A and B are shown apart, each in its own frame.
Chain A
Amino acid sequence: MLTQIGRPVCGFFGNGWKPRPLFKGAGALSYVSTQRMFGRIQGILELMREFAVFWGCTIQTRFPFIEKSTRIVLEAFKLPYRDVDGFTCCPEKSLVNNVDHGMFTLTAARNVALVDELDCDLVSPCTGCVSNLATVESELNANPKEKDHVNSFLKQVGREFKGKAKLSHLVPFFHDTVGLHAIKRMMKKDFSGMKIALHYGCHMIRPSHALKNDDPLIPKKFDNIIRAMGAESLEFPTKLMCCGQGLDRIDQHEMALHFARIKLRELKAIGADALVLCCPSCFLQFDNNQFLMEKEGEKYGIPVIYFTELLGLSMGYSPDELGMTAHRVDCMPFVKKWESLGEKASRDEDLSEGLNVTGAEGLG
C-alpha cells in the first residue's frame, strides 16, 4: 500500500506539479512513508508553508478567548504560524464597502501586501475577514489595471500588492492542509454519541469565485471534519441559513433576534447537543443574542462552541484552559454529557493503513 502511494506522488512532482500545502519534494514523502504514523504527520507539518494568522477586529476586541483556543490548537499541531505587525481591519464589507468602495479595496490590498512581503500564506479563524480579503485579492488579480492603480497608492507607503498569498479560513485549512487523519491522530477522545448542529457561516464558503474552497450551496468540509471527530452532524432545514448578525449592525436588533430564534428553535426541536461554528459574528449572534433572549425568559439552552474549542476538548484540554467559561450561554451541559460517555475504545482502531498521507489532497 505504501509503495503504491509513493509512486504516483513522485510522478506528480516529476511533472512539476506543485501542491499547496507544500511537500517540498518526493524525498520528503518517501521519508514520510517509512515513518510511524506520528512521524509522518509531523514530517508533513514541518514542510507546510508558513502562514500568518489574521485575527480580525471582532475576535481581538470582543472574544480574546477564541484567540486562546485557536493558539492552543495551532501550537499543539505544531503548525508553522506567525503573528504579523501592522494588520488593520480586513475591512468589514457591510460597513466599509457601502460607504467607500475604494477604501475597502485599498485597505484589504494593503493587508494582503503585508503577507505577500513575508512570502507566506494567511489563515483566519474569522469567515468575514477571509471572505473580504479574498474578494479583493481575486478582483485585483482579475483586473490588472485596477491592481496597478491600487499599487500606485501602496507604492507611496513602500508596499506592493502581488496577490500571491493563499488565503484560507481555518476550517477548510484544517480539512485540506492539516487533514482529517492528522486531526484524528491528535484526538484523545472523540465525540461519538454527540449530536452537533453545524453552522458554516456564509462567508466561509461564499463568494465561491474568490474563496474556491467548497461547494457554495452544498458545502461538505466542515461536516467531514465533525464526522471524522466522531460526532453526528445533524441535517436540518435552516442549516445553511445566514445567522442574521448583520441586522444588529444596521440598528435592527429585534430582527437580529428573530433570525437567531428561527435557528435556535429548530435546534431545540431536533435535540442538538451544541451549535458548532467558526465565525465571531455568528458566535456573537448565537451566544450573546441567545443569552439576551434567555434573560427575557426565552430559554433555548443551546451551547455555542467554536471549532477550535471542540478540537481542543477532544485533545484533552479543559473548558477552562480553552476559555470556554467566558461564553454567555453555559457550555457545561455539552461537556458533561460528553464526559459521561465512554472513553474512545482505541484511538488507532479506525485509522486505516493506505490512507496515510493526509486526507484531502487526493494523493492516496
Chain B
Amino acid sequence: MEASLNLKLLEMCSKCGACFSICPSCVNIPGYDPREVIKDILDGSHEKWINSKHIWECLECHYCLEMCYQHYGFENAMTAMRTIAAKRGVHPTQVKRGWEMFVKTSRLGEPAIPARKKLGLPEAKGSGAEEFKKLYALLKESREKGRGHGGKTE
C-alpha cells in the first residue's frame, strides 16, 4: 500500500461499527460507508475506492476517533485512501487548487487590504513565505536523497 494502516486495528474495526451512527457523513450522505471501505482494505480490494468521491466525504470531524475504543477511527482508513488518491493525482479540483496556492504563497489567500482599511484594522503581518519555500525545497531535496531509505517525513 502507498499509505500505512494498522491492519490489526482495522480487523477489530470491521467487527465493531459502533461509530457509524454518530458519523455525520454516514448518517447524511447516501453511499458514504467507511465499513465497506475497511472491508475492502482487509480483502485487498480497495483499489475501486481510490477514484471514488466518497473517500473525500469524511469531514475529519474526529467524532469516530473520540468514540472509538481503539482510539483509531474510520477516519484513519479514509485518510489513507485519500493519501493514495492524492499521490496518483485523482483528488478533487478544489483540493488541487488549494494545495497549489499553499505551496506557492504559504497561505490559502492574502489579507483583504481594502476591507481592512475600511474597518480601521492595522496592516496585516507578513507571511514568512520565503522561509516556508526554503523549507519545502529542503524537504523535497532530502526526499530525493533518501529515496529508498523510507524517511519518516515521506
Contact = CB atoms under 8 A, between A and B. Distances in A.
B122 to A, nearest CB: 7
A336 interface: no
User: How large, as a class, is the contact surface on chain B?
Assistant: 35 or more
B107 A88 contact: yes
A149 interface: yes
Interface stretch (A165-173, A201-209, A327-335, A341-349): A201-209
Interface in B35-69: 53, 56-57, 59-63, 65-67
Contacts, number: 183
A138 interface: no
A250 B94 contact: yes
Contacts of A92: 98, 102, 108
Given A96-B102, A242-B59, A84 B112 contact: no
A86 B125 contact: yes
Given A99-B91, A242-B24, A244-B24, A88 B63 contact: no
Given A61-B109, A61-B111, A99-B86, A86 B139 contact: no
A318 interface: no
A95 interface: yes
Nearest to B132: A88
A98 interface: yes
Given A154-B135, A250-B56, 18 more contacts: A55-B124, A61-B107, A61-B110, A68-B120, A87-B127, A94-B60, A95-B98, A102-B153, A110-B131, A153-B138, A157-B131, A157-B138, A206-B65, A242-B24, A242-B59, A242-B63, A249-B92, A251-B94
Interface of B: 24, 28-29, 53, 56-57, 59-63, 65-67, 71, 79, 82-83, 86, 91-95, 98-99, 102-103, 106-112, 115-116, 119-122, 124-129, 131-132, 134-136, 138-139, 142-143, 152-154
